[in-house]
Amino acid sequence: MSDFDLTGKVCVVTGAGRGIGRGIAESLARYGATVVLSGRTAATLADAAAAIGAAASTQVADVTREADVIALRDAVLARHGRIDVLVNNAGIDPVWRGIEKTSLADWQAIIDTNLTGTFLCCKYLGSAIGQGGSVINVSSIAGRVGVTRSVPYCASKGGVELLTKALALDWAKRGVRVNCLAPGYVDTDLTHALLSHEVHGKPFLDHIPLGRFGTPREMGGAVVFLASDASTYMTGQSLVVDGGWTAD
Ligand SMILES: NC(=O)c1ccc[n+]([C@@H]2O[C@H](COP(=O)([O-])OP(=O)(O)OC[C@H]3O[C@@H](n4cnc5c(N)ncnc54)[C@H](OP(=O)(O)O)[C@@H]3O)[C@@H](O)[C@H]2O)c1
């Protein structure tokens, strides 16, 4: 357990009020971390933090707004005096249609949240992480292979994968590791309509060798590894947790 022990580490998770981010925050706290749950919606954050208990606190921030991200960093430093782990999980995918029917506004909203939000959080919170710390950017298998009717989402997540590699090179010198978690399909608010769809859902399930969708807790376990001393020689990489989707 000691290599995975996160006692004393201050971890910030964006998009932590629900879905995968909430699962990640719960897993980090289970391994001893102090967690700051961030997101746009105070009520869901409060709910998620209450389920974790005293190790958790909340801070509302929209990752697309530079001033919010700076305020998030300042609030965490004022509260805890340090940041050890940043999990850039906040993300959206509202489109699911061909490029012909994708508006510029659709494209910009996805890039702003998934890619620019990750950039801003790395810039302001990641920069405040000290030696031995770790950044974990939540990309997707859709950042590694193409997914139909998902041009902006795939582009945003592919960007997150390469942002991660480039930043890992820059920050290796100061002892801060930067990796990705690339989840496969997890049934959350983001994906439920698609994965449960009578026609479109079944092909997704059929494509997964393990025969089921993943859970937020299973994403949390991988993040605990990337946040902990169990992964101290790993940087600039992407940990794919997809039930075997990309194995063939
Ligand atoms: N579910 C999957 O199958 C899957 C697969 C691969 C990758 N991912 C990635 O995993 C991450 C989490 O996805 P999920 O399935 O858990 O989605 P979700 O259930 O829809 O939750 C998304 C979270 O992101 C937050 N968020 C969205 N826009 C934000 C913004 N501008 N600023 C701050 N927070 C924002 C939401 O906060 P509010 O509650 O305040 O709206 C919410 O907490 C995303 O990056 C997604 O792309 C998901």
- Give the model's confidence band at 1: pLDDT under 50 very low, under 70 low, under 90 confident, else very high: low
Expressed in angstroms and rounded, the spacing between residue 173 Cα and the centre of ligand 1 is: 31
Expressed in angstroms and rounded, the spacing between residue 154 Cα and the centre of ligand 1 is: 15
Our answer to whether residue 233 is catalytic in this structure is no
CA distance 5 to 32: 6
Alpha helix locations (H) across the chain?
19-30, 42-52, 66-80, 104-110, 117-124, 151-172, 192-195, 201-206, 216-227
Q: What are the pLDDT digits (tens) for 147-182?
A: 999 999 999 999 999 999 999 999 999 999 999 999
CA distance 29 to 24: 9
Which tokens hold the place of 95?
């489109």
Q: What are the pLDDT digits (tens) for 181-229?
A: 999 999 999 999 989 998 888 988 999 999 999 999 999 999 999 999 9
Q: What are the pLDDT digits (tens) for 54-76?
A: 999 999 999 999 999 999 999 99
Q: At what angle do helices 19-30 and 42-52 cross, to 10 degrees?
A: 30
Q: What are the pLDDT digits (tens) for 98-150?
A: 999 999 999 999 999 999 999 999 999 999 999 999 999 999 999 999 999 99
User: Which of 31, 124, 153, 185 is the catalytic position?
Assistant: 153
Q: Which CATH number fits domain 2-187+215-241: 3.40.50.720, 1.10.8.60, 3.40.190.10, 3.40.50.10890?
A: 3.40.50.720
Expressed in angstroms and rounded, the spacing between residue 242 Cα and the centre of ligand 1 is: 17
Whether the per-residue pLDDT at 95 is higher than 80: the answer is: no
Work out the average pLDDT over 22-26.
98
Q: Cβ(226)–Cβ(174) under 8 Å?
A: no
Which tokens hold the place of 247?
């194995």
pTM, entire model: 0.98
Indicate the SS3 state at residue 239.
strand
